[in-house]
């Protein structure tokens, strides 16, 4: 296996055009364990030297960037004009790249207000497995020309093409952010999140973090962004609203808010050896059912559960710790079956190696699997890119 680090789009194209065999596209490597494992690729295409801000127009709130640029570096470049790419995934702390975030479909708490990265990308340059360069979109926010390749590749985990350059829309950086926090069980948190989402308060984030090993207790975090006066008013109204659902909350000072969000990020990331992690996407109203199933199933196999939920969006991260590999495998399969029965989708992320011997990383194929296979055959007919990532779907 050889590792190559191209520094330009043409370099990526030349590399793919002049080589054969399987290819693993890798940025910071923060999502390499997601879905199926790519074992022993012939070539690793490392994008970490494909970096730099290409264009930046503060007046139009747009920028283009090479895909290997870390999100943290991009945010630093934009901060001088009090702007940002409205994206805050915890993996940014580990050096997640812009291209990698597109390929993984990762987001963060601010998705509630600003949408995911798929909603912020307005143009993309990709390189197909045969070295063909393709572009879609442009530098204008309302551009509707051509196919939206960015949305097609969003969440494809490097199995369709190499994301080489990305054009994004930006937002002004809010001058003030306030966090309202309070202890809440999963039922209270879910009810409050649904009420907040339906209210005119427009919170930037509504997150619930379970207590480690708990049976459903945890903390609700609600963040509002804006001016000094608007956030002060909104925070007070949020406290009143969540109180209607039995949650006694307070507005945190900046130091306490930073600690709360750091804990949130650390919990999402997990990071312990031997942890199995699932990401579940469901209707927001299904949080209590998913959490209850996770805690009950884990208790049967003597596992410890941590759960972080973007409660108003319906995105949940579930960590399973301890026990045996067999116990983790049984819990994963049972939880996935119950979640899918409720219409949710489940992605297996990190897990001990032994779990792969028992658990199909992807689970049952969706009804769209025939379409997925046709797309794969059009983009990568020889199956060079990330073989095994979506096996046995394609």
Give pLDDT tens digits for 41-55.
Answer: 999 999 999 999 999
Give pLDDT tens digits for 238-256.
Answer: 999 999 999 999 999 999 9
Percent of the chain with pLDDT over 70: 97
Q: What is the mean pLDDT of residues 108-130?
A: 96
Residue 389 domain-assigned (yes or no): no
- Among 127, 152, 172, residue at a domain's last position: 172
Cα(78)–Cα(56) distance, rounded to whole angstroms?
9
**Is residue 116 domain-shared with residue 37, that is, in the same domain?**
yes
pLDDT above 70 for 214: no
**Is residue 15 domain-shared with residue 150, that is, in the same domain?**
yes
Residue 39 domain-assigned (yes or no): yes
Distance from the Cα of residue 156 to its chain's centroid: 12
Length of the chain (residues): 394
**Nearest 5 degrees, angle CA 229-CA 233-CA 234?**
115
Cα(264)–Cα(174) distance, rounded to whole angstroms?
21
Tokens standing for residue 59: 């007046």
Task: Please report, for the domain that includes residue 18, its CATH number.
Answer: 3.30.465.10
Q: What is the mean pLDDT of residues 364-380?
A: 95
Neighbours of 201 (CB within 10 A): 16
Task: Please report, for the domain that includes residue 321, its CATH number.
Answer: 3.30.70.600
- pLDDT score for 356: 86
Q: If pLDDT is split at 50, 70 and 90, which confidence band does 144 have?
A: low
**Is residue 19 domain-shared with residue 161, that is, in the same domain?**
yes
**Is residue 167 domain-shared with residue 275, that is, in the same domain?**
no
Least confident stretch, 144-153, 203-212, 331-340, 343-352? 144-153
Cβ-contact 31, 90 below 8 angstroms = no
Give pLDDT tens digits for 92-114.
Answer: 999 999 999 999 999 999 999 99
DSSP letters for 364-390: SPPTTHHHHHHHHHHH-TT--BSTTTT
Neighbours of 327 (CB within 10 A): 19
- Domain tally for the chain? 3
Distant-in-sequence, close-in-space partners of 219: CB < 8 Å, separation ≥ 6: 181, 182, 183, 184, 208, 209, 211, 260
pTM: 0.94
DSSP letters for 324-358: -HHHHHHHHHHHHHHHHHTT-EEEE-S--GGGGGT
**Is residue 200 domain-shared with residue 52, that is, in the same domain?**
no
pLDDT above 60 for 145: no
Residue 366 domain-assigned (yes or no): no
Place of tokens 């941590």: 306
Q: What is the mean pLDDT of residues 271-290?
A: 93
**Is residue 11 domain-shared with residue 119, that is, in the same domain?**
yes
Whether the bond between 281 and the residue before it is cis, its omega within 30 degrees of 0, is no
Average pLDDT score, the chain = 94
Give pLDDT tens digits for 281-311.
Answer: 999 999 999 999 999 999 999 999 999 999 9
Residue 371 domain-assigned (yes or no): no
83-84 and 121-127 as β-strands: parallel, antiparallel, unpaired?
Answer: unpaired
DSSP letters for 202-257: --SEEEEEEPTT-SS-EEEEEEEEE-HHHHHHHHHHHHHHHHTTT---EEPPHHHH
- pLDDT score for 272: 75
Q: Residue 74: helix, strand or coil by DSSP?
A: helix
DSSP letters for 9-38: HHHHHHHHHT--S-EEEESS-TTTTSSS--
Cα(171)–Cα(111) distance, rounded to whole angstroms?
13
Residue-wise burial string across 134-151, b where 16 or more C-beta atoms lie within 10 A, e elsewhere: eebbebeeeeeeeebbbb
Percent of the chain with pLDDT over 90: 89
**Is residue 167 domain-shared with residue 180, that is, in the same domain?**
no
- Residue 110 domain boundaries: 2-172
Task: Please report, for the domain that includes residue 235, its CATH number.
Answer: 3.30.70.3450
- Sign of the CA dihedral with 253 first, then 256, 259, and 260 last: negative
**Is residue 194 domain-shared with residue 95, that is, in the same domain?**
no
Cα(357)–Cα(106) distance, rounded to whole angstroms?
27
């Amino acid at each position: 296996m050889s590792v190559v680090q191209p520094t330009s789009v043409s370099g990526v194209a030349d590399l793919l055009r002049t080589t054969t065999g399987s290819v693993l596209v890798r940025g910071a490597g923060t999502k390499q364990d997601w879905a199926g494992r790519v074992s022993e690729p012939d070539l690793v295409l490392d994008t970490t030297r494909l970096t730099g801000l290409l264009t930046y127009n503060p007046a139009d709130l747009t920028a283009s960037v090479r895909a290997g640029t870390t999100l943290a570096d991009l945010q630093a470049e934009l901060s001088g004009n009090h702007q940002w790419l409205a994206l805050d995934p915890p993996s940014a702390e580990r050096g997640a790249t812009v291209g990698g975030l597109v390929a993984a479909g990762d987001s963060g708490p601010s998705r509630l207000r600003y949408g995911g990265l798929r909603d912020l990308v307005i143009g993309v340059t990709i390189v197909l497995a045969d070295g063909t360069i393709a572009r879609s979109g442009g530098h204008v926010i309302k551009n509707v020309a051509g196919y939206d390749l960015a949305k097609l590749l969003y969440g494809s985990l490097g199995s369709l093409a190499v994301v080489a350059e990305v054009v994004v829309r930006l937002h002004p950086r809010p001058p003030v952010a306030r966090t309202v926090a309070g202890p809440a069980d999963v039922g209270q948190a879910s009810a409050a999140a649904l009420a907040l989402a339906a209210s005119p308060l427009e919170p930037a984030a509504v997150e619930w973090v379970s207590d480690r090993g708990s049976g459903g207790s945890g903390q609700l975090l609600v963040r509002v962004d804006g001016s000094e006066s608007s956030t002060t008013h909104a925070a007070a109204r949020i406290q009143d609203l969540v109180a209607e659902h039995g949650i006694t909350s307070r507005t945190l000072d900046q130091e306490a808010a930073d600690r709360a969000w750091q804990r949130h990020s650390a919990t999402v990331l997990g990071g312990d050896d031997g942890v199995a992690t699932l990401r579940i996407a469901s209707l927001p109203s299904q949080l209590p059912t998913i959490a209850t199933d996770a805690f009950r199933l884990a208790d049967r196999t003597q596992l410890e559960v941590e759960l972080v939920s973007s409660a108003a969006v319906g995105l949940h991260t579930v960590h399973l710790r301890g026990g045996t590999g067999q116990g983790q495998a049984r819990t994963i399969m049972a939880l996935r079956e119950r979640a899918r029965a409720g219409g949710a989708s489940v992605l297996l992320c990190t897990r001990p190696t032994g779990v792969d011997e028992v658990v199909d990383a992807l689970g049952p194929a969706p009804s769209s699997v025939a379409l997925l296979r046709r797309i794969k055959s059009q983009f990568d007919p020889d199956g060079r890119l990330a073989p095994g990532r979506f096996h046995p779907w394609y």
